[in-house]
Amino acid sequence: MSVFRFLMTVFVATGMAVAVAGETVEVKQGSFLVITYPKSNRIKRWSCYEPREGDVFIGVARRLCSRPVMRVFTRTNEIHAGIMVKDSCGNVRLLEADRGTGVRMHDPIAYLADYRQNYGDVYIRRLTFDLSEEESEALTCFAEEIIGRDYAAIHELINAVFAQPFIDRASPGQWLENPDRWFCSEVVVAALQEAGLLHPDIRSSSMIPNYLMGDLLAPDWDPPHRWTPAIVRHLEVDKRWPLAQY
C-alpha cells in the first residue's frame, strides 16, 4: 500500500479534516445515499439512510462474473440482491440468498459496508411509503420461513444462458421453482409478493438481479441510489477522491 493511500485511509477512518490540492475537506462517517441529477452522475446532494423494511439492496461487483459459464454468456459484472425485512424481534435486517451460506439475515449497515469494501458498489431502492402492519408481518413471516434454506445454484447457469427469454416468456421459469432452494433476486420478488407489493402473476423464479434496477419496482420504489459509509464535504467523491467512498 502506498503512503498516500495509507494516509487517506487513516483520514477516512478517523473523520479528520484534510487538505487535498489546496482544498480542505471533511470526511463524515455514517450511512448515506448519493442522490444524482437525472441521467447524470453529477452529485445533487447526500441523504442520510436508515434501512427500512421493503427497501431493496442491489450490489454490483467490481469484477466480471466469477463462474466461467456465467462469464461466457453474460460478460457482465456480478449483481447481487437482497431486501430489508423485520425479524421476529422487530429489528430491520437484510434478507439475502448467497451461494456460500444460503438464505440468511444480516445487520444491514454492517453488510452494506462489507460489500462496499470487499466487492463493489452498493445501490438502494427505497420504498416510497410505510408498510402496513399486515404487510410488515407478511415480510417477516416469509423471511422466517425460508431462513436456512439452500442457494439455488442452478439459477446461475439457466439465467446466464436464457435470462432474456425467461423474462419475456415467463413459463419456463417453472423449471426452476424449488421451495428448498432460492436465488437472490427470487427471494426479493417472492418476499414483495407475499406482502402484496408486487403482482402475484410475476414468476419470481424467473427474475434476475438486473431487473431490480429497472422498471420492475417503479413507481413504488425510488430509482437506485448509490450507498456509501462516508462522505466528503466540498469535494466530489467519484472524480476527485474515490478513496473517500470507503
Per residue of the chain (246 residues), what is the pLDDT tens digit? 554 444 444 444 444 444 444 455 667 788 999 988 777 777 778 889 999 999 999 999 876 555 554 544 444 568 899 999 999 999 999 999 998 899 999 999 999 999 999 999 999 999 999 999 999 999 999 999 999 999 887 665 565 455 544 444 444 444 456 778 898 999 999 999 999 999 988 888 778 888 899 888 989 999 999 999 987 665 444 444 333 333
Coil vs helix vs strand at 9: helix
Question: pTM (2 decimals)?
Answer: 0.77
Q: How far apart are CA 31 and CA 15, in angstroms?
A: 14
Q: Apex CA 108: angle with CA 146 and CA 140, to 5°?
A: 35
What pLDDT does residue 181 have?
86
Coil vs helix vs strand at 6: helix
**Helix, strand, coil share (%) of the chain residues, nearest 5:** 40, 30, 30
Beta bridge partners of 43: 36
What pLDDT does residue 50 have?
96
Q: How far apart are CA 103 and CA 184, in angstroms?
A: 8
- Are the C-beta atoms of 236 and 36 separated by less than 8 Å? no
Q: How far apart are CA 47 and CA 61, in angstroms?
A: 23
